Amino acid sequence: MNRATFTLLALLLICALSLVAAQQKARKLFIAIERAQMEERRLNQEALRLEYDQRTLSKSARIQDSARNQLRMLPITPDRTLYLKDAQ
């Protein structure tokens, strides 16, 4: 066996080992991306739920009820409003 054969054999071994390592890395990355995607989905859902909660808490019926009954506010009427306009 000559030197070239040994070199090729060594190269083959290195390639084989790096293939295994690359595959392992790919799987790890894949698992990481899957986790990140799941997290993204969870956060999206969370955002939607918060948006819904915000809407439920700020809906007109609730605001009107709080304003009239808790804060004792009165509706705006033109007789108590001062209208401003741009100066010509």
- Which residues of the chain form contacts with other proteins (CB under 8 A)? 26-27, 30-31, 34, 45, 48-49, 51-52, 55-56, 59-61, 64, 75-87
User: Can you give 12-42 as a three-state secondary structure string?
Assistant: HHHHHHHHHHHHHHHHHHHHHHHHHHHHHHH
* CB-nearer residue toward other proteins: 14 or 43: 43
Taking the complex as a whole, the smallest distance from the CB of residue 88 to other proteins amounts, in Å, to 9
* CB-nearer residue toward other proteins: 15 or 68: 68
Tokens of 57: 């808490």
